[in-house]
Amino acid sequence: MAENCLSEMRTKLIKISNAHKKVSDFGCTTNPISYSKIRLLQRFVVSLHTDCMKEMEIEELYSLFKQHPCVTTDSRTCPEGSIFFALKGASFDGNAFAAGALERGCAYAVVDDAQYVPEGDTRYILVDDSLHILQRLASHHRKALRLPVIQVTGTNGKTTTKELIASVLSRKYKVWYTQGNLNNHIGVPLTLLQMNAGHEMAVIETGANHPGEIKQLSEIVDADYGLITNVGVGHIEGFGSFEGVVRTKGELYDYLRRKGGTVFLHKDNPHLVPMAEGMKTVRYGAPGDEGTAVEGEALDCTPCLRFRWREQGGTWHEVQSRLIGDYNLSNLLAAVTVGRTFDVPNEDISAALAEYTPGNNRSQWRETAHNRLIIDTYNANATSMGAALENLCRLKADKKMVILGDMKELGSVSEAEHRRIVDFLIQAKLDRVWLVGPCFRETDAPFRMFDNVEQVIETLRTEMPESYTILIKGSHSTRLYLLPEYL
C-alpha cells in the first residue's frame, strides 16, 4: 500500500511542479497554475505523503540502510551504493544536488522537495524533512545495535576526553567514537550511522552553542552513560549567560536521570556536583574523599603532564602523558574512571594514556629550530584561555611569550573577559605579549597589537623570536594555527 501511495503522489507532484501544463487532477483545466499555488499544492501533497509514509519511513528506510550501510550528505563524496541525504544550509539546498549524487554512485537519495523527484525514479525517497529523517534513522540504528554508549559534552576538553576514553577502552573492546569534532545535529547522526555490529562500545561527543541542543542530541544518542567535562564561559553569545551554559550542558544529566543512566562525575567541580544530585554516579578527582572511584594528582608539568592515579585505597600508577597543562588532569582521570568501570586492566589504561598524542592543534608541544611552542589554536574561550595562561606561568622557562587571538562568541561578556585576560597578562610580567584581533585592541592594553594573523606573519619575517617558550592560543576564526611554521 505504501508503494502505491508513494507512486501516485510522485506522479501528482511531478504534474504540480510543471507550471506550464494543465493540471486537471487538481481542478485546473485551462490556465497555468501560479507559482504560489504550485508550492501550496506541493506542501499539501507532501503532507499526504508524510501520513502515508509514517510506517514506511524509518522501518523501510532502515531496511534499505542495512543493505546500503553508508550515508553521505556531500554530493562530492558518494561511495558506491551509499544513501545521499539532501540537507539544506544558509547558502545551499542539497535537493539540487541529489541527481548528481546518484550519478556519482549513490544508490538512493533522500530529498524533501518534490520538484527534484523525476517521475518514476524509485531511487528518490521523498520525506517531509531530510535532516529530521537522518536523525531518526540514526536513533533507530543506535537502538537496534544495543551496545553501551557513553556521551561526552562540556565547555572545554570534550574532544580530548572523548579520545582519551576511546584510547583506553580500545585496549579491551572494539570501540566506535566520534571522529574529529563531528558533534552537532548533523555530525552526531552521521557518527551513529557508522556504528556496526562489530562494535562493542561507542563514545559519542556532543557540542552546543544554543539552549536545547544537548537535549536534542541526547535524545538521538540515547546514552547509557554520560560525562560533562566542565562548564565554563564559552558561547555566551548563544547561551545568553553562564547560567545558560550550565542549564544546556545539564540537559545530558536530565536525559540520563529520566533513563536511569550513570554519570561519570568530576567530584571537585562545584557546578557539576549539585547538578548530579540523586543520580547514579561514578566519581573521580583529587585524593581524600570517601566514595571516590578513582583519585589522582599531578606530579610534574615540564612541559607535559606527569600524574599518578589509583582506585581509592589501591596502588598508585604513574603516567607520563603527552598532554600540555595540569588542566588536562581531570580529562585523564575521567578516562581512567571509564576504563576501570568497564574492567580495562590497570596496565592497559596507563599505557593508553601514555601513548595518546594530541592532534588538531589542541594542547600540542612542538620544538622548532627557534622556539618551543605550545599550540592550542583550535579554539578559545575565557575559561580555557585562563587555564592555558596559568599553566604557562607555572612552566620553568627562561623566556616566555604569548601570541593570543580574540575569544569569539562571548556576547555581552566579551569586553569584560578580554579585559580580564589583559589584567592577568599585566600581572604575569611575561617577556613578550602579542595580541591579535579587534576585541583585544579595544582593551587598549599596553602590549603589541595586531589586527589579524597576516600582520603577525609579516612581522615574524623580520622579528623572529629566538629561544622562547611561546603559547599560541585563540579562537579558530583568528587562524593563529598558521603561525607555527613561521616560529
Residues 6+ apart with CB under 8 A from 262: 224, 225, 226, 256, 279, 280, 281, 282
Q: Does residue 368 sit within a domain?
A: yes
Q: What is the mean pLDDT of residues 163-185?
A: 94
Q: What is the mean pLDDT of residues 149-156?
A: 91
How far CA 227 is from CA of 39, 159, 208, 282, 317, in Å, comes to 46, 12, 15, 10, 23
Q: Are residues 124 and 151 in the same domain?
A: no
Q: Does residue 139 sit within a domain?
A: no
Q: What is the pLDDT of residue 90?
A: 85
pLDDT, one tens digit per residue, over 63-109 is 999 999 999 999 898 999 999 999 998 888 999 999 999 999 999 99
| pLDDT score of 61 more than 60 | yes
Confidence of residue 470 (pLDDT cuts 50, 70, 90): very high
Confidence of residue 288 (pLDDT cuts 50, 70, 90): confident
How far CA 386 is from CA of 139, 165, 256, 358, 392, in Å, comes to 38, 25, 31, 20, 10
Q: What is the pLDDT of residue 23?
A: 39
Q: What is the pLDDT of residue 238?
A: 61
| pLDDT score of 181 more than 90 | no
Residues 6+ apart with CB under 8 A from 326: 298, 301, 305, 307, 391, 394
Q: What is the mean pLDDT of residues 433-450?
A: 92
The set of cell numbers assigned to 299 is 606530579
Higher pLDDT, 86 or 412: 86
* Long-range contacts formed by 181-187: CB under 8 A, 24+ apart: 181/205, 181/207, 181/360, 183/158, 183/159, 183/207, 183/217, 184/213, 184/217, 185/131, 185/135, 185/213, 185/216, 185/217, 186/73, 186/87, 186/131, 186/134
Q: Does residue 97 sit within a domain?
A: yes
pLDDT, one tens digit per residue, over 104-125 is 999 999 999 999 999 889 999 9
Q: Are residues 269 and 190 in the same domain?
A: yes
Confidence of residue 15 (pLDDT cuts 50, 70, 90): very low
Higher pLDDT, 242 or 213: 213
Q: How many C-beta atoms surround the C-beta of residue 315 within 10 A?
A: 7
Give the CATH number, domain containing residue 111. Answer: 3.40.1390.10
Q: What is the pLDDT of residue 55?
A: 43
| pLDDT score of 335 more than 90 | yes
Separation of alpha carbons 253 and 251, rounded Å: 5
**β partners of residue 450:** 436
| pLDDT score of 265 more than 90 | yes
**β partners of residue 324:** 304
The set of cell numbers assigned to 308 is 599518578
Q: Are residues 215 and 343 in the same domain?
A: yes
User: Which range in 60-69, 295-304, 332-341 is most confidently predicted, on average pLDDT?
Assistant: 332-341
| pLDDT score of 7 more than 80 | no
How far CA 483 is from CA of 377, 462, 468, 472, in Å, comes to 10, 14, 14, 8
Q: Are residues 262 and 382 in the same domain?
A: no
Q: What is the pLDDT of residue 194?
A: 96
Q: Mark which of 103, 133, 163 sits at the end of a domain.
A: 133
Q: Mark which of 80, 108, 133 sits at the end of a domain.
A: 133
Q: Are residues 169 and 115 in the same domain?
A: no
Q: What is the pLDDT of residue 361?
A: 78
| pLDDT score of 11 more than 60 | no
* 13: Cα within 13 Å, side-chain hemisphere: 27
Residues 6+ apart with CB under 8 A from 20: 32
Q: Mark which of 355, 388, 405 sits at the end of a domain.
A: 355
Contact 147, 199 (CB under 8 A): yes
| pLDDT score of 17 more than 50 | no
Query: In this structure, which amino acid lies at residue 388?
Result: A
Q: What is the pLDDT of residue 383?
A: 85
Q: What is the pLDDT of residue 380?
A: 83
Q: In degrees, to the nearest 5, what angle opens at C-alpha 230 toward C-alphas 229 and 233?
A: 140
Q: Does residue 404 sit within a domain?
A: yes
Q: What is the pLDDT of residue 236?
A: 64
Give the CATH number, domain containing residue 240. Answer: 3.40.1190.10
- Which of 240-244, 357-361, 463-467 comes out lowest in average pLDDT? 240-244
Q: Does residue 296 sit within a domain?
A: yes
Q: Are residues 238 and 124 in the same domain?
A: no
What would the DSSP string read from start to end of 50-61? HHHHTTHHHHHH
Q: Are residues 201 and 316 in the same domain?
A: yes
Q: Does residue 326 sit within a domain?
A: yes
Report the number of distinct structural domains present in the chain: 3
Q: Does residue 77 sit within a domain?
A: yes
Give the CATH number, domain containing residue 387. Answer: 3.90.190.20
Separation of alpha carbons 396 and 387, rounded Å: 16
| pLDDT score of 334 more than 80 | yes
Q: What is the mean pLDDT of residues 257-269?
A: 95
Q: Does residue 140 sit within a domain?
A: no
| pLDDT score of 352 more than 70 | yes
Q: What is the pLDDT of residue 87?
A: 94
Confidence of residue 297 (pLDDT cuts 50, 70, 90): very high
Across all residues in the chain, what is the average pLDDT? 86
H/E element, 401: strand 400-405
Q: Are residues 328 and 372 in the same domain?
A: no
Confidence of residue 239 (pLDDT cuts 50, 70, 90): low
Q: What is the pLDDT of residue 89?
A: 86
Q: What is the CA radius of gyration of the chain?
A: 26
Q: Are residues 303 and 248 in the same domain?
A: yes
* Three-state secondary-structure class, residue 385: helix
Confidence of residue 57 (pLDDT cuts 50, 70, 90): confident
Q: What is the pLDDT of residue 240?
A: 60
Confidence of residue 232 (pLDDT cuts 50, 70, 90): low
The proportion of the chain whose per-residue pLDDT surpasses 90, expressed as a percent, equals 64
Domain extent, residue 171, equals: 147-355
Separation of alpha carbons 176 and 440, rounded Å: 40
Q: Are residues 112 and 214 in the same domain?
A: no
Q: What is the pLDDT of residue 2?
A: 43
Q: Would you give the end-to-end CA distance of the chain in angstroms?
A: 67
| pLDDT score of 394 more than 70 | yes
Q: Are residues 308 and 369 in the same domain?
A: no
Query: In this structure, which amino acid lies at residue 327?
Result: Y
The set of cell numbers assigned to 243 is 547560567
pLDDT, one tens digit per residue, over 355-383 is 999 877 787 899 999 999 999 888 788 88
Q: What is the mean pLDDT of residues 393-421?
A: 89
Q: Are residues 191 and 332 in the same domain?
A: yes
Q: What is the pLDDT of residue 363?
A: 79
Separation of alpha carbons 202 and 191, rounded Å: 10
